[in-house]
Structure 1
Amino acid sequence: MSGEEDKLFGTLPDGRKVFSHSIRNGNGMELIAIDFGAVITSLKIPTAGDFTDVVLGFDTLEKYLASQKLPAPPHFGAAIGRYAGRISNSKFTLDGVEYKLSTNNNANTLHGGKNGFDRVLWTLERKTAESLTFTYRSADGEEGFPGALQVWVTYTLTENNSVDIHYRAITDKDTVINLTQHSYFNLEGHQADLRNQELLINSNLLLEIDRENIPTGKVMPAIKKGMDFSAGGTPFFGIDDSFIIEDNGTAAATLTCRKNGLRMTVFSDQPSLHIYVGGKCFGELQGKQGAEYHELSGICFESQNYPDAPNQPGFPSAVLRKGEEYTQHTLWTFEQT
Structure 2
Amino acid sequence: MKHTIFSLLLVMALLAMVRPKAGIEQALFGTLPDGREAHLFTLRNAAGMEAKITNYGGFLVALTAPDRTGKQANVVLGLSSLADYLKAPSSLGPIIGRFGNRIAGGKFTLDGTDYTLAINNGGNHIHGGKVGFNQKLWAATPTNGPEPALTLRYTSPDGEEGYPGTLAVTVTYILQKNNALRIDYQATTNKSTVINLTNHTYFNLSGQQRDVLNKELMISADRFLPTTKAQIPTGELRPVAGTPFDFTKPTPIGTRINDTTDVQISYGYGYDHCWVFTDKSPKLKLGATVYDPPSGRVLTMYTTEPAVQIYTANHLNGSQRGPEGVPYTRRFGICLETQHFPDSPNQPTFPTTTLRPGQVFKSTTVYQFSVK
TM-score bracket, shorter-length normalisation? over 0.9
**Equivalent position of 1:102 in the other structure:** 118
Aligned to 2:344, which of 301, 309, 321?
Answer: 309
User: Shift of residue 280 of structure 1?
Assistant: 4.9
Give the conservation status (yes or no) of the 8 Å contact 2:24–2:44.
Answer: no
CA distance in 1, matches of 2:57, 2:28: 15
> What pairs with 1:53-92 in structure 2 (closer than 5 Å)?
53-68=74-89, 73=90, 75-92=91-108
Structure 1 counterpart of 2:119, which letter? T
Q: Does 1:203 align with 2:206?
A: no
Aligned to 2:309, which of 274, 284, 288?
Answer: 274
Structure 2 counterpart of 1:33, which letter? I
User: Shift of residue 141 of structure 1?
Assistant: 0.3
Q: TM-score, normalised by structure 2?
A: 0.85
Structure 2 counterpart of 1:63, which letter? D
Tell me which protein shows more strand as a share of its residues: 1
Q: Does 1:17 align with 2:41?
A: no
CA distance in 2, matches of 1:267, 1:97: 36
Give the conservation status (yes or no) of the 8 Å contact 1:279–1:298.
Answer: no
**Equivalent position of 1:7 in the other structure:** 27
**Equivalent position of 1:169 in the other structure:** 187
> What pairs with 1:1-337 in structure 2 (closer than 5 Å)?
5-47=25-67, 48-68=69-89, 73=90, 75-129=91-145, 130-223=148-241, 225-236=243-254, 238-247=270-279, 248=281, 250-278=285-313, 280-337=315-372
Give the conservation status (yes or no) of the 8 Å contact 1:164–1:329.
Answer: yes
Structure 2 counterpart of 1:208, which letter? P
CA distance in 1, matches of 2:241, 2:87: 37
SS in 2 for 1:62: helix
User: Shift of residue 164 of structure 1?
Assistant: 1.0
Percent of residue pairs identical: 41
CA distance in 2, matches of 1:42, 1:255: 18
Give the conservation status (yes or no) of the 8 Å contact 1:39–1:78.
Answer: yes
Structure 1 counterpart of 2:214, which letter? N
User: Shift of residue 16 of structure 1?
Assistant: 1.3
User: Shift of residue 125 of structure 1?
Assistant: 2.7
SS in 2 for 1:5: strand
Question: How well do the aligned residues superpose, as a CA RMSD in angstroms?
Answer: 1.6
CA distance in 1, matches of 2:78, 2:209: 10
Q: TM-score, normalised by structure 1?
A: 0.94
Runs of 4+ in 1 over 6 A off after TM superposition: none
Give the conservation status (yes or no) of the 8 Å contact 1:67–1:285.
Answer: no
Give the conservation status (yes or no) of the 8 Å contact 2:93–2:201.
Answer: yes
SS in 1 for 2:247: coil
Give the conservation status (yes or no) of the 8 Å contact 1:280–1:297.
Answer: no
User: Shift of residue 235 of structure 1?
Assistant: 1.6
Give the conservation status (yes or no) of the 8 Å contact 2:317–2:330.
Answer: no
CA distance in 1, matches of 2:249, 2:348: 32
User: Shift of residue 224 of structure 1?
Assistant: 5.5
CA distance in 2, matches of 1:148, 1:283: 38
Give the conservation status (yes or no) of the 8 Å contact 1:137–1:150.
Answer: yes
User: Shift of residue 185 of structure 1?
Assistant: 0.5
Give the conservation status (yes or no) of the 8 Å contact 2:319–2:327.
Answer: no
Write the deviation string for residues 204-232 of structure 1: whole angstroms up to 9, x where unpaired: 31012100100111111224651111112
Pick closer, same or farther for the CA change 1:225–1:64 going to 2, 3 Å: farther
Pick closer, same or farther for the CA change 1:218–1:280 going to 2, 3 Å: closer
SS in 1 for 2:252: coil
Tell me which protein shows more helix as a share of its residues: 2
Give the conservation status (yes or no) of the 8 Å contact 1:241–1:275.
Answer: yes
SS in 2 for 1:288: coil
Structure 2 counterpart of 1:163, which letter? L
Larger Rg: 2
Q: Any stretches of 5+ residues in structure 1 without a counterpart? A: none
SS in 1 for 2:289: strand
Pick closer, same or farther for the CA change 1:279–1:159 going to 2, 3 Å: farther
Give the conservation status (yes or no) of the 8 Å contact 1:88–1:311.
Answer: yes
